[in-house]
Structure 1
């Protein structure tokens, strides 16, 4: 046997190509956040004047003071507090997370978010208005490798048998496609028959640059959204909500332009009802101030509103 045949026989067998890690499906998130990426682009409009002061007391605790003057929404002072725990599950996730704000009348909004493990998240929301317990909601999310299952209980009353229960399930079918469903059940003596259930189907197709999501319910409702990242500075989103029974449909277009180097941020939107909203935020460096200007005009009703805010801290 010659040397050439010996070397060829001892050469290792070729290794088949393995797909990159990003090619495999991953956790698709929750049904609740299906349209979150698109909706985050729309401006948070306010009317009148607002001053917000943020003060960090330490690495975990922060308080805020908000003064609002408006003819369209409740005016006055609100105190807020935020606590961020030291348990880090990722660079952007720290638990437990406690958020609350209250006005001098005792009206309170409180949120508690905690991770019982790497897969289980619990969210509790409570609202007190006019010295009465207004609403309570508990949500538990279980995140598997390829799916997320959620259970939400709203205003549960086991004695009277009333409340709302919502089940969510979203599973990754491929690297980009996710399918799921939503089941909402409500029990109340005011409802015909004492209870009602609504089933909805959900789907999401997402890449690194865009996300297309939609939900279709058996009650005749349809909700769709589209998100597109155009560049490092510009993002756009389109949302449409349709009620086939009421024969009503509304479409909205939103955008966000973020010029980080100049401390300049613009969010705007326009909908099919000819309502245009815009919010401009400018950081007043080197001071820790941010100036916010917002406006809203409804061409059909010939209405115009303006807001001015100052964020300190």
Structure 2
């Protein structure tokens, strides 16, 4: 009878719930994320490598009248470069005052600026539906044939974005960008400038993860642009870009950083043309920021330094 009794078996091991099955890690191509707009495909590199540098003194004051409406005043004093065929940089001293009004609503944004030299700038953004929005901007000047305006219709789909643009001078443009994987998006654009009888087509690609963003663009106008941003930590980012024009044979490469501290933000860059720049924004108190801007062009022997204050939120 002992030979008929089955041997004792060890209990089956419990399934390991700490590891997810590989099937769950596969990308769901029916629920891809919506990509960023085509014209903002390199915004991370742009923020690090192209800060708003200025020369001289600048003071900006913003006063909120209510939750939606605010007024702004801006004073700038410093030299302004004038076009010249000589290799030396020619500057003239200038001073300027700017008055602005802002209306911010969840579905409507109106921004207007009036300058002492007679220029008027205006921007409008209106959400017509949950997926369709209208953007418009214009600049009016006293100089003949220098005023311009542009309007665009942006459509945001589940995993794509499209845009159609209209501008003065018979300017027409359209672009489209589509997410093809959770990390990769591809897009293209076309434009026609009727006043100058020029047309063009371009392509773009963007690959992003939690730690990096890489973009590439090429256009029939001759421009090839590549950018890469590496997020070292929550406070430090490194960025680089490369631009090449195969028609004019111009090449520019730059490298920069973006360092965010508790009370300040420091950005800097250096490029292949011998230009070194730095931009510092420090929060002195609630609603009070101090700004330092510096740029050195070793090739042209041009040195720029600026400081300013920003009052109000």
The normalised TM-score by structure 2 is: 0.83
> What is aligned with 2:278?
278
Larger Rg: 2
CA distance in 2, matches of 1:17, 1:250: 45
1:301 aligns with 2:313: no
| Match among 18, 30, 37 for residue 30 of structure 1 | 37
Q: Which moved more, 1:169-178 or 1:125-134?
A: 125-134
| Match among 218, 224, 227 for residue 225 of structure 1 | 227
Contact 1:150 1:167 in 2 (8 A): yes
Contact 1:107 1:131 in 2 (8 A): no
1:118 aligns with 2:130: yes
1:22 Cα offset (Å): 8.2
Aligned length: 277
Secondary structure of the corresponding residue to residue 75 of structure 1? strand
Secondary structure of the corresponding residue to residue 83 of structure 1? strand
> What is aligned with 1:102?
114
Contact 2:184 2:206 in 1 (8 A): yes
1:58 Cα offset (Å): 1.0
Contact 1:177 1:203 in 2 (8 A): yes
What 5-or-longer segments of structure 2 have no aligned partner? 1-20, 82-93
| Match among 129, 151, 155 for residue 164 of structure 2 | 151
Contact 1:106 1:131 in 2 (8 A): no
Superposed CA offset, 1:256-291 (max 9, x none): 11112xx11111111110101111122213x63211
Contact 2:27 2:181 in 1 (8 A): no
- Cα distance change, pair 283–246 in 1 and its aligned pair in 2 (3 A): same
Contact 1:141 1:149 in 2 (8 A): yes
CA distance in 2, matches of 1:231, 1:168: 33
Secondary structure of the corresponding residue to residue 45 of structure 2? helix
The normalised TM-score by structure 1 is: 0.83
1:144 Cα offset (Å): 0.9
Contact 2:103 2:110 in 1 (8 A): yes
Secondary structure of the corresponding residue to residue 37 of structure 1? helix
CA distance in 1, matches of 2:35, 2:42: 12
Secondary structure of the corresponding residue to residue 80 of structure 2? coil
> What is aligned with 1:211?
213
Secondary structure of the corresponding residue to residue 82 of structure 1? strand
Within a 5 Å distance, the mapping from 1:128-143 to structure 2 comes to 128-130=140-142, 134-143=147-156
1:301 Cα offset (Å): 2.0
> What is aligned with 1:177?
184
| Match among 76, 90, 104 for residue 84 of structure 1 | 104
Contact 1:181 1:201 in 2 (8 A): yes
Contact 1:180 1:202 in 2 (8 A): yes
1:20 Cα offset (Å): 8.4
Which segments of structure 1 move beyond 6 Å, counting only runs of 4 or more?
20-23
What 5-or-longer segments of structure 1 have no aligned partner? 1-14, 86-93, 156-161
